[in-house]
Amino acid sequence: MSGAPLRDADPAVAGLVDAEVARRATTVSLIASESVSTPGVRAALGSEFGDKYAEGHPGHRYHGGCEVVDELEELAVARARELFGAEYADVQPVSGSVANLAVYAAFAQPDDAVLALSLRHGGHQTHGSRANFSGRWFTPVSYELDMSDERIDYDKLRDTAMFYKPRILVAGASGYSRHIDFAAMRSIADEAGCILWVDAAHIAGLAIAGIGPSPVEYADVVTVSTQKIMRGPRGGVILGRAEHADALRRAVYPFVQGGPNMAAIAAKAVAFAESATSEYRDYARRVVENAAALASALVDGGLRVVSGGTDNHLAVIDVTELGLTGRAAADALGAAGIVVDKAVLPFDPAPVALGSAFRVGTPTVTSAGQTVSDMAVLAARILDVLAGAAR
Ligand SMILES: Cc1ncc(COP(=O)(O)O)c(C=O)c1O
């Protein structure tokens, strides 16, 4: 992407772009939260829309000259509503985390209890980590995976929800490889009298392809990141029921954000259209096939995969048996050009900074055209590197 203008304007930055391009060309990314943005998305992201200030929402802007961006945002919202099947969509959140902050702003007051999957069992820091606003300003309560099968135990979750009666029940995770039963989550939220928020940052890109359950019909509110499995720009989307539209709109602007990034909104509009195609559905299907193939080849090679496998695009691999920490495994793989995240196991005795696992995801390798047979080769290489590191 480093064309002549950037090279002339700023050789240092252009050189770093070249270095990143080279890094990508010489490594394999198995980062579960990354994919590869499409050329259309990149063009929109670098467009003139990036210069336009447009605080507010279409038809209600603080700034002048918003006729065109109003049309753009309305187009993006219409596409998002259709793609996700949602009554209400806000395409302004600059990221998934900021979309999550807006959900708290719309539905909770400081100190309210929010019940979410424990960070150490695959949750996300915006679901109640003490290092994040969510754990600092609200009262985090967590549920854990079942020790025997490393899956959500919905009966136990129901008991926890009835005990704490939280303001919000959060479904969704960063490191959970199984489909979530959104109907069960809805019935728990109804019984406990709370809002059901699905943080679909990761899995939204599968749900729109009809792979795995869609949370939209069950949840009061759903948040999405447009860059994880979807091949869009870095950004967030909020989807909700019409009855929550005013609260959600005000939560995004003016409560959480100022002027939205209109170029990112243009890129989201492109991504929504591209994600509605059969090419995208085929890509999403291959992402899941590749993840299953990679996980099962690693199991065949003697490693344990959390919950025994995966239903989605990611898997968490236990390296305890090798006598490695997750950090050591991720470092060894990184040195061999296979880029992964270190991770913790459910009930991991190791400190978070080390962990006993690593997380793999397949959107990027699938975007690069890799197939199930390539996953067998990749798994063999991973096993080889880890065996070397364990010696
Ligand atoms: C479950 C979950 N929610 C939210 C986020 C935050 O997304 P973003 O990086 O777009 O802020 C992530 C990021 O990995 C995530 O896994």
Phi, psi of 224 (to 5 degrees): -140, 145
Residue 2: per-residue pLDDT: 43
95 in ligand 1 pocket by Cβ < 6 Å?
A: yes
The 3-state DSSP class for residue 386 equals: helix
Atom of ligand 1 nearest to the CA of 98: 11
Q: What residue spans in the chain does CATH classification 3.90.1150.10 cover? A: 278-390
Regions in the chain scoring below 50 on pLDDT: 1-2
Residue 391: per-residue pLDDT: 83
Q: What residue spans in the chain does CATH classification 3.40.640.10 cover? A: 43-275
Choice from 125, 176, 225 to test ligand 1 binding pocket (greatest atom count within 8 A of CB): 225
Q: CA neighbours within 13 Å on the CB side: how many for 19? A: 6
Element (H, E) at 375: helix 372-390
The model's pTM is 0.96
- Which residue's CA lies nearest to atom 3 of ligand 1? 201
Diameter over CA atoms, the chain: 66
Atom of ligand 1 nearest to the CA of 33: 14
Cα–Cα distance measured from residue 244 to residue 79, given in angstroms and rounded to the nearest whole number: 19
33 in ligand 1 pocket by Cβ < 6 Å?
A: yes
CATH code for the domain defined by 278-390: 3.90.1150.10
pLDDT in tens, 243-257: 999 999 999 999 999
Question: Are β-strands 28-29 and 338-339 bridged in parallel, bridged antiparallel, or unpaired?
Answer: parallel
pLDDT in tens, 291-309: 999 999 999 999 999 999 9
The 3-state DSSP class for residue 138 equals: coil
Residue 120: per-residue pLDDT: 94
Residue 259: per-residue pLDDT: 97
> Closest Cα partner for 360 from 286, 283, 298?
298
CA 154 to chain centre: 22
SS (H, E, C) 295-355: HHHHHHCCCEEHHHCCCCCEEEEECHHHCCCHHHHHHHHHHCCEECEEECCCCCCCCCCCC
Query: What integer best gives the mean pLDDT of the chain?
Result: 97
Cα–Cα distance measured from residue 287 to residue 293, given in angstroms and rounded to the nearest whole number: 10
Tokens of 128: 């109640």
> Closest Cα partner for 151 from 171, 179, 185, 109?
179
Question: Are β-strands 168-171 and 195-199 bridged in parallel, bridged antiparallel, or unpaired?
Answer: parallel
pLDDT in tens, 144-163: 999 999 999 999 999 999 99
CATH code for the domain defined by 43-275: 3.40.640.10
- How many angstroms is it from 97 CA to the middle of ligand 1? 6
Choice from 37, 98, 121, 126 to test ligand 1 binding pocket (greatest atom count within 8 A of CB): 126
- How many angstroms is it from 96 CA to the middle of ligand 1? 5
Atom of ligand 1 nearest to the CA of 200: 1
101 in ligand 1 pocket by Cβ < 6 Å?
A: no
- How many angstroms is it from 214 CA to the middle of ligand 1? 18
Amino acid at 383: L
